[in-house]
């Protein structure tokens, strides 16, 4: 099954990305994790994301475009990136989630990816 | 064969085999709802077919074959709407699971581990086990869990959908997590027992179902001392069910019960379960709770309850699992063993018991033994918090100066 692991980071953790002393540790942790996912053969895809301040949210209501600065929801933990992995079951996905740096102070949401739609049915 | 006897036979097979069949039908597809629907259809088919054709030699195998056919049909029908090829393959693989002799393998532990997976909300785990392992319907479960049948039905459906869609494994293995998983199963069985106990007070039969669940758990986890402890506890509590009510329906506390009204066979079975657990050398809260019940049950064999020993067992229980219930029980044991002053000190040391009915009932009892003026107010609180009307009546009588138990 394909699962998306959404990495929810705290503002403090995310600020380490360009912190003079802490950046190395931050990136080191994520690089090691990404390598482990890749080498184990479960990696489908994944990316880190720029901080929520760079987000723009769009809604169409009554035919009108509403564009807002910022993420769709202001929360204490924010999406820092995601991995899509291919593993047999939820327990295996949980094991990978538990290794992610975000699990230590943020959170990891584990969700099965919707299976592809059927080929045009008769 | 008459329809009535066939009906009884179908009911018996359903009771004995429900969880076993659901487990086998769902273990590969992880789709419990579909497995239950298919089994329900197969049971209905048995009710209409068996009176004419007679009960088959292997009723479970008959039900499995019929249910599996329904499952494949349903998967095929669903395939028109979505690509269900994988589930068809999974469904047909059930065939491989059945032995040459038609014996039904027992995958109930895998089913129980799935129901108590940490990804399933703790509050729904016990209801889910009662439903999928025993086949209890949502309305009966709802009555006990103080929920509306509709809300309970929805919560159960949600949990089953999550089991199916989130890829929660149906497996007995996971050795590194096994201890935690077994612990979750035990806790869910205990929750069912606690609710069954309350339900019995209200005249319901959930206590029997919870005992059945404890028996099944002891069958699938025979090497677990605490599961045996749970079974012993369930048997002791169920053995005294009739004795908890006087002929006029009033509540009879344990000390005042007539041992002749206890179920001797169940108590002996409880003792055997506890005896089997002891060489496993893995004591825990459930064995301790059962041991406390066992100490009380000694009256059946002419051994009066030994307050000092019961107090010691409560000390050990509180050390293992300092729940409010265990701490109030310990105060009660101290009341019998060492008198009201010591018991009151123990009771006063319990934090967070303001809304816990047994704490107020115990406090009222202790204060009245001390001749303390606050006893009446404590009775008021205990009576106000009581959910069981017979307990309320008992406390009103005690408040009015009715005779103390023993």
Domain boundaries, chain A: 2-112
- Is residue B325 domain-shared with residue B347, that is, in the same domain? yes
* Chain A, nearest residue to B168 by Cα: A90
Rounded (10°) angle between helices B357-369 and B375-385: 160
Range of the domain at B126: 107-220
Q: Answer whether residue B322 is part of any domain.
A: yes
pLDDT at A112 over 60: yes
Q: Using CB atoms, pick whichever of B80, B81, B167 lies closest to residue A112.
A: B167
- Is residue B119 domain-shared with residue B211, that is, in the same domain? yes
Measured CA to CA in angstroms, residue A22 lies from A26, A48, B171, B226, B315 at distances of 6, 18, 42, 47, 50
Q: Answer whether residue B310 is part of any domain.
A: no
Interface check for A112 against chain B (CB to CB < 8 A): the answer is: yes
Dihedrals φ, ψ of B126, to 5°?
Answer: -65, -50
Cα(B46)–Cα(A120) distance, integer angstroms:
39
Closest CA to B54 of B10, B93, B108: B10
Over residues A74-93, the pLDDT tens digits come to 788 999 999 999 999 999 99
Q: Using CB atoms, pick whichever of B81, B83, B167 lies closest to residue A90.
A: B167
Determine, for residues B174 and A1 on separate chains, whether the beta-carbon distance falls below 8 Å: no
Which among A5, A89, A90 is the top mutation candidate for probing chain B, defined by the most B β-carbons within 10 Å of its own β-carbon?
Answer: A90
- Stated as kind and residue range, the H or E segment containing A86 is strand A77-86
Structurally, what CATH architecture does the domain formed by A2-112 represent?
2-Layer Sandwich (3.30)
Q: Answer whether residue B311 is part of any domain.
A: no
- Is residue B180 domain-shared with residue B282, that is, in the same domain? no
Closest CA to B187 of B155, B143, B217: B217
Which residues of B are less than 8 Å from A94 in CB distance? 119
Q: Take residue B78 and report the two structure tokens written for it.
A: 């669903």
Interface check for A119 against chain B (CB to CB < 8 A): the answer is: yes
pLDDT attached to residue B54: 87
pLDDT attached to residue B159: 95
Q: Using CB atoms, pick whichever of B80, B83, B169 lies closest to residue A90.
A: B169
Q: Using CB atoms, pick whichever of B80, B82, B166 lies closest to residue A90.
A: B166
Our count of domains for chain B comes to 4
Determine, for residues B167 and A121 on separate chains, whether the beta-carbon distance falls below 8 Å: no
**More confident position, A73 or B293:** B293
Q: Answer whether residue B332 is part of any domain.
A: yes
pLDDT by 10s per residue, chain B, length 406 = 566 777 888 888 888 888 889 999 998 888 999 999 999 999 999 999 988 888 888 888 899 999 999 998 888 887 665 554 555 555 555 555 565 566 778 889 999 999 999 899 988 998 999 899 888 888 878 877 777 889 999 999 999 999 999 989 888 876 677 888 899 899 889 988 887 776 666 656 778 888 988 999 999 999 999 999 999 999 999 999 889 888 888 889 898 999 999 999 999 999 999 999 989 988 899 999 999 999 999 999 988 888 999 999 999 999 998 989 999 999 999 999 999 999 999 999 999 888 899 999 999 999 999 999 899 999 999 999 887 788 899 999 999 886 554 4
**Cβ contact B256:B305 at 8 Å:** no
B170-173 contacts at long range (C-beta below 8 A, 24 or more positions apart): B170/B23, B170/B26, B170/B27, B170/B28, B170/B30, B170/B107, B170/B110, B170/B111, B170/B113, B170/B114, B171/B110, B171/B113, B172/B107, B172/B109, B172/B110, B172/B113
User: B197: Cβ–Cβ under 8 A, 6 or more apart, which residues?
Assistant: B207, B237
Which residues of A are less than 8 Å from B81 in CB distance? 121
- Is residue B332 domain-shared with residue B399, that is, in the same domain? yes
CA angle B80, B82, B88 (to 5 degrees): 80
Over residues A88-109, the pLDDT tens digits come to 999 999 999 999 999 998 999 9
Q: Answer whether residue B98 is part of any domain.
A: yes
Mean pLDDT taken over chain A: 91
Which among A4, A91, A120 is the top mutation candidate for probing chain B, defined by the most B β-carbons within 10 Å of its own β-carbon?
Answer: A91
Which residues of B are less than 8 Å from A3 in CB distance? 167
Determine, for residues B119 and A90 on separate chains, whether the beta-carbon distance falls below 8 Å: yes
CB pairs under 8 A between A and B: 32
**More confident position, A120 or B38:** B38
Task: Please identify, among B284, B305, B326, the residue that sits at the C-terminal boundary of a domain.
Answer: B305
- Is residue B204 domain-shared with residue B159, that is, in the same domain? yes
pLDDT attached to residue B228: 96
Cα(A103)–Cα(A97) distance, integer angstroms:
7
Measured CA to CA in angstroms, residue B365 lies from B246, B341, B379, B399, B402 at distances of 21, 12, 8, 9, 12
Q: Answer whether residue B81 is part of any domain.
A: yes
Q: Answer whether residue B193 is part of any domain.
A: yes
CA angle B15, B17, B18 (to 5 degrees): 70
**Cβ contact B367:B377 at 8 Å:** no
Which residues of B are less than 8 Å from A91 in CB distance? 168-169, 174, 177
Q: Answer whether residue B312 is part of any domain.
A: no
CA distance B173 to chain A (A): 11
Beta bridge partners of A61: A64
């Amino acid at each position: 099954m394909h699962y998306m692991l959404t990495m929810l980071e705290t503002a403090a953790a995310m600020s380490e990305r360009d912190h003079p002393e802490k950046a190395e540790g931050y990136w080191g942790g994520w690089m090691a994790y990404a390598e482990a996912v890749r080498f184990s053969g479960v990696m489908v895809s994944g990316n880190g994301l720029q901080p929520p301040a760079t987000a723009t949210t769009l809604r169409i209501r009554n035919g009108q475009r509403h564009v807002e600065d910022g993420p769709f929801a202001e929360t204490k933990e924010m999406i820092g990136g995601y991995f899509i992995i291919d593993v047999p079951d939820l327990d295996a996905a949980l094991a990978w989630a538990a290794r992610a740096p975000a699990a230590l102070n943020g959170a990891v949401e584990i969700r099965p990816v919707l299976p592809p739609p059927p080929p045009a049915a008769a | 064969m008459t329809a009535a006897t066939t009906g009884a036979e179908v009911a018996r097979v359903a009771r004995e085999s429900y969880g076993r069949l659901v487990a086998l039908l769902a273990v590969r597809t992880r789709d419990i709802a579909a497995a239950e629907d298919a089994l329900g259809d197969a049971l209905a088919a048995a009710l209409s077919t068996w009176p004419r054709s007679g009960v088959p030699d292997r009723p479970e195998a008959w039900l499995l074959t019929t249910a599996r056919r329904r499952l494949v049909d349903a998967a095929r029908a669903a395939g028109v709407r979505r690509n269900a090829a994988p589930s068809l393959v999974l469904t047909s693989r059930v065939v491989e699971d059945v032995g040459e002799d038609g014996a039904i393998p027992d995958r109930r532990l895998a089913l129980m581990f799935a129901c108590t997976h940490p990804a399933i909300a703790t509050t729904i785990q016990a209801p889910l086990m009662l439903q999928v392992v025993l086949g209890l319907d949502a309305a009966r479960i709802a009555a006990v869990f103080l929920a509306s049948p509709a809300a309970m039905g929805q919560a159960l459906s949600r949990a089953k959908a999550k089991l199916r869609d989130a890829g929660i494994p149906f497996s007995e293995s996971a050795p590194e997590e096994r201890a935690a998983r077994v612990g979750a199963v035990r806790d869910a069985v205990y929750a069912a027992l606690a609710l069954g106990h309350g339900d019995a007070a209200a005249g319901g039969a959930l206590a029997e179902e919870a005992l059945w669940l404890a028996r099944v758990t002891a069958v699938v986890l025979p090497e677990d001392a605490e599961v045996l402890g749970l079974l012993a506890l369930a048997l002791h509590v169920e053995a005294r069910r009739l004795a908890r009510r006087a002929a006029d329906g009033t509540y009879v506390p344990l000390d005042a019960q007539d041992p002749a009204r206890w179920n001797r066979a169940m108590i002996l079975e409880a003792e055997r379960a506890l005896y089997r657990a002891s060489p496993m050398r893995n004591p825990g809260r459930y064995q301790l709770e059962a041991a406390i019940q066992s100490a009380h049950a000694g009256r059946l064999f002419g051994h009066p309850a030994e307050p000092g020993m019961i107090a010691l067992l409560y000390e050990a229980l509180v050390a293992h699992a300092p729940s409010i219930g265990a701490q109030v029980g310990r105060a009660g044991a101290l009341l019998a063993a060492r008198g009201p002053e010591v018991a009151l000190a123990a009771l006063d040391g319990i934090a967070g018991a303001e809304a816990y009915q047994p704490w107020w009932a115990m406090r009222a009892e202790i204060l009245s033994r001390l001749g303390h003026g606050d006893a009446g107010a404590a009775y008021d609180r205990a009576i106000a918090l009581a959910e069981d009307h017979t307990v309320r009546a008992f406390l009103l009588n005690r408040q009015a100066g009715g005779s103390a138990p023993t």
